[in-house]
Amino acid sequence: MRRRAEVAPDFPQPLSLPKIKTGITGFDEITFGGLPAGRPTLICGAAGCGKTLFATTFLVNGATQFDEPGVFMSFEERAEDLAANVASLGYDLDRLVSEGRLAIDHVRVERSEIEETGEYDLDGLFIRLGYAVDTVKAKRVVLDTIETLFSGFSDPSILRAELRRLFGWIKDRGLTAIITGERGEGQLTRQGLEEYVSDCVVLLDNRVEDQITTRRLRVVKYRGSAHGTNEYPFLIDAEGISVLPVTSADLDYATPGGIISTGIAGLDQMLEPGGFHRGSSILISGESGTGKTMISASMIDAACRRGERCMAFVFEESGDQICRNAGSIGLDLKQHVEAGLLRFEAARPSLFGLEMHLARMHRDLDRFGPDLVVVDPLSALRGPASEMQATILRMVDLLKSRGITALFTSLRVDGALDLADDFGVSSLMDSWVKLLNVEANGERSRTLYVIKARGMSHSHQVREFLMSSAGIALVDAYIGPAGVLTGTARLVQEAEEKAQALRRQQESERRQREVARQRVSIERQIAELHASLEAAEEEERLLFGEVEAREAQLETGRRDIAVRRSAAR
């Protein structure tokens, strides 16, 4: 089971100061629990940075998640305008008001109606605010915006005194308050006083660099509590506000066990365990058209078939287009989307800044909980080299800390490693698979080889891979004196080798037949010699018998003659 690691800031969490959670993803982590309970917090920033939305989210989450009613006192927007503005985020303020969990009061402040004297005070505001608080038994209060309330004051001493009275009144009532303020010239607010009397100050910034907008948040001060001091990107979209905390710099995350298949039998065979380590970071690099996206689609399909959840962050194609293209190699990714196992997050790289893309990823990972994440392609992201390195490092660290297997694709113009455009990606990866287009004999073939795979043995051979309706298949590339042959050159060479083998086989068979003929001829000759020898031996035996017969006859004749001679005497 994959371990989920919470964000671990670099500061020890204080235990003494009571806090109230805002319910805003990421913000409660960087403040170690939320805003100071029973104290005022100043949210300041330029127009359009999200102050009112931040404050509204604080109230809505309090009423819906923590059973803490709230009061929104606006000095600019009318109640109906405020409700309409936040409806796109799914906030139904009218329903919360009707249920008695939220009170909205619009106070119109006109400079001409204000008499500035030494005895001027805010007793009327306190009475009106106190009535709203008592009506809904509020625990949370928002004052939006404070500049409008004090627009009639020109004496700094009166302004400071009334600010202190206002903040003191909030503390005496035990209310956790957010007060919004416009950013001034060279100071956090227009008056330059609010940040000094506030217990917590949060600065929102809407920064434009290279025509790309990035929202950033910084906790300027927090009395009685440690807090994250960096700038954190935050995202405002249809799902509300989410803040991206900086992940821990410690490399202390656990390593999940197990091996996952790539869904490509030939690639699994090139890796000794039969796949990649679970929770590792994998880089697939290559030129355009080498099949990077299709390899990632194969890994997605294999993971979904195992019942794992997958999320793909794509920057060049829509999810539907990737599903359609994957169908050409026999993969049906739509079924995984419909089953809720696969989710595509598609956006143009120029839509957000680097940190905003990272903030979106952070939020989506929290909500979907994937086991495999694909970023296709990583090279589409654009920004200064220093920001690219930091963003990629944090992205890899984010995924590793959660035990998520990450697959990154990257475009290489010529198939070579361009160190000026690498941003340290290759060194961050646990495994690196490189794809190349090989051109020969008027055609282009795809080849693959594994550059590195930490913690496992792997093949160092170049393999040609073919994509068809049956999927992706890896075949051995021909390596000879002339180099690596792929495509039809390999087929021609294989055909020539088969022809040569056939000729060698036929020549061998011809020689064997000739030997057989010679054997038969020699054996026949041997048989004839044997027959001749046997005939000679038979003739010799017959002649010997005839000689013996003649000798016997002569002997008989001699005996007869001897007998006759004896008788005559």
For residue 397, is pLDDT > 60? Answer: yes
How many Cβ atoms sit within 10 Å of the Cβ of residue 169? 18
pLDDT > 90: percent of the chain? 21
* CA separation for the pair 294, 543 (Å, rounded): 97
For residue 481, is pLDDT > 60? Answer: no
Neighbouring residues of 66: CB distance < 8 A, sequence distance ≥ 6: 20, 21, 23
For residue 165, is pLDDT > 90? Answer: no
For residue 190, is pLDDT > 80? Answer: no
For residue 6, is pLDDT > 90? Answer: no
126-164 pLDDT, tens digit each? 888 889 999 999 999 998 877 766 665 566 677 677 778
Q: What b-and-e string marks burial along 135-159, b requiring 16 or more CB atoms within 10 Å of the CB?
A: ebebbbbbbbbbbbbbebbeeeebb
In this chain, the answer to whether the domains covering 19-243 and 259-482 adopt an identical fold is yes
pLDDT at 4: 38
More confident residue, 404 or 441: 404
CATH number at 19-243: 3.40.50.300
Pick the CATH number of 259-482 from 3.40.50.300, 3.20.20.210, 3.40.190.10, 3.40.30.20: 3.40.50.300
Long-range contacts: 449-454, Cβ < 8 Å, 24+?
450/270, 450/271, 451/426, 453/271, 453/276, 454/277, 454/280, 454/430
Among 67-71, 165-169, 516-520, the minimum mean pLDDT is found in 165-169
In the structure encoding, which two tokens stand for residue 229, read together? 């001091």
44-73 pLDDT, tens digit each? 888 888 888 999 999 999 999 999 999 998
For residue 472, is pLDDT > 80? Answer: yes
* CA separation for the pair 368, 361 (Å, rounded): 10
Q: Residue 174 phi/psi, 5° resolution?
A: 70, 30
Q: DSSP per residue over 321-349, as a string? A: HHHHHHGGGT---HHHHHTTSEEEEE--G
Helix (H/G/I), strand (E/B), else coil: 478: strand
For residue 324, is pLDDT > 90? Answer: yes
Q: Residue 478 phi/psi, 5° resolution?
A: -80, 125
Among 99-103, 214-218, 503-507, 528-532, the minimum mean pLDDT is found in 214-218
Whether the model clears a pTM of 0.75, i.e. scores above it, the answer is no
pLDDT at 145: 79
* CA separation for the pair 205, 218 (Å, rounded): 8
How many Cβ atoms sit within 10 Å of the Cβ of residue 282? 24
pLDDT at 102: 92
Among 133-147, 250-264, 317-331, 363-377, the minimum mean pLDDT is found in 250-264
Q: At what angle do helices 292-305 and 319-326 cross, to 10 degrees?
A: 90
* CA separation for the pair 451, 390 (Å, rounded): 24
Helix (H/G/I), strand (E/B), else coil: 394: helix
Domain regions of the chain by residue span = 19-243, 259-482, 486-561
pLDDT at 444: 77
User: What's the chain's average pLDDT?
Assistant: 81
